[in-house]
Chain A
Amino acid sequence: MKMLINVAESVVADALRGMAAAHPELIVDVEHRLIVRRNAPVAGKVGLVSGGGSGHEPLHGGFVGRGMLDAACPGEVFTSPVPDQMVRAAAAVDSGAGVLFIVKNYTGDVLNFDMAAELAEDEGVQIAKVLVNDDVAVLDSLYTAGRRGTGATLFVEKLAGALAEEGAPLERVEALARRVNESSRSFGVALSACTTPAKGSPTFDLPAGELELGVGIHGEPGRERRGMMTSGEIADVVVDAVVEDLRPDAPVIALVNGMGGTPLLELYGFNAEVHRALAERKVPVARTLVGNYVTSLDMAGCSVTLCQVDEELLRLWDAPVSTPGLRWGC
């Protein structure tokens, strides 16, 4: 597989150097693997720190900035960051109002953020944690590591980020982040496996003419393999999976997300089918975001995340945000 890289070992550092060059409004610490708002800590504001394996860009580093994250900790490709990174990030963004860790529910992320929380608290930083676990493809949470954190992470980071920007205290920001996660569900589909730089070949074998339902965002295979379907048929399967689990009784924000290797042309066509499917199921859509936001390297495919909203969440969604990956209202 041809890749636009120097060597596999330096892909994360190389990308960070490139981010630094493109975004002078961010502090990009290549050595310690940190992306921080240049004006951090913002006086009186709760700090938001997230992180995870690289390969999901723009998540998380691309969501650092006004109205969203204060810092992001990128790990190696598909590997959670190490505690040292989160401890350093917490110290960099804590104004005294405390820090919220936004953690996707994967064993590695949970363990590393837990260790970091202990160490940061030892250093006098008040830490709260919210776990994102929105992936309905994981059915049996009792006998698995639990539902994965995927597209809802964007909603948690945006909405909690907006509330923190308003000066809300840590308990409220944490409670809202939890509420956003509980109001969100996702389901993903792969048309092709992704290729990690370290391996150099697709992580699983997906024959032409087949797709994989219920994939995660780490190149791990999904729950079920089926023959290729049309965009409309895929939308029905995905929307059914999400709506049956979420059972929304209020409008939703829809994230129609690309996995990294699917063109926007296809993604917008898919969005039309998602809207059609939601309308047929009487789910009103308040806002829609279409694009590659929570990706899985070069995987072709898509996911849909729905977040049921009330007036407060909608107001926070519309609030100004200025990050490399998400920008409006300012």
Chain B
Amino acid sequence: MNASTAPGPVIDADFLRRWLATAAAVVDREADRLTELDSPIGDADHGSNMRRGFTAAHAAVELEPPQTPGGVLTLVGSQLISTVGGAAGPLYGTLLRRAGKALGDGTPATPEEFRDALRTGVEAVGKLGGAVPGDKTMLDALVPAVEALSFALDAGAGLADGLAAARIAADEGAAATVPLQARKGRASYLGPRSIGHQDPGATSAALLVAALADTAAEAVA
């Protein structure tokens, strides 16, 4: 890991608004692929549910933009809970709400505060869904992403580089779900037949991390 000397992006409400716009666009673009991944081992709706949720969250944040980064994440989480349904709604909603609450009312957040908030959110997802890494869920992308971000920041990297590392870790984590047998969620009903398919939740989680990395990279550029 090369420590970055570039000034990191400022993690304020505007940064997370730009993340949300990017994430909503990516989810919209990739919705069909998410639904396709959800077909053999799920119920063929992950893409359309995520699209509906992020469209609603984006609209809500643009209508009344919160003034703090915590406020943006909390509002997005609430919107996802109210619009996505399924397991993804409460899980992604809890991830972002808990992260948002952890950030509190301060602005801007430091990279370390932001990482700690994400970790709090990811831990809440594990608790709510009762899953651990290796169960073939979104945690298989989220946990390595937070670890990679943490490792990079501890090594002196800036936020943009840290999130770039998190993106790679999330992508690898999602890809690594292919040989796993699902132990949580609807795919678990398939038993060994869930092996050989990439988990749609880990895939969408990796997309959200990638959107974060892109937003940070653009801010630095």
Contacts and interface: CB of A to CB of B under 8 A. Distances in A.
A196 B189 contact: no
Interface string A86-104: 0000000000000000000
B90 interface: yes
Interface string A104-142: 001110011001000000000000000000000111100
Given A115-B90, A198-B48, A218 B43 contact: yes
A83 interface: yes
Contacts of B188: 143-145
Interface in A187-220: 196, 198-199, 203-204, 216, 218-220
Contacts of B184: 107, 144-145
B129 A107 contact: yes
Contact of A111 (B48, B49, B87, B182): B87
A106 B85 CA distance: 12
B191 A223 contact: yes
B190 A221 contact: yes
Interface residues of A, number: 37
Contact of A144 (B44, B129, B189): B189
A77 interface: yes
B193 interface: yes
Contact of B39 (A108, A115, A204): A204
Nearest to B49: A79
A196 B85 contact: no
The A interface is mostly helix, strand or loop, or mixed, namely loop
Contacts of B45: 76-79, 196, 198-199
Contacts of B43: 53, 78-79, 196, 203, 218-220
14 contacts: A80-B85, A80-B89, A82-B84, A82-B85, A106-B186, A107-B129, A107-B185, A137-B189, A203-B39, A203-B44, A220-B41, A220-B42, A220-B43, A223-B191
Interface of B: 35, 39-45, 47-49, 52, 81-91, 128-129, 181-186, 188-191, 193
Interface of A: 8, 53, 75-84, 106-108, 111-112, 115, 137-140, 143-145, 148, 196, 198-199, 203-204, 216, 218-221, 223
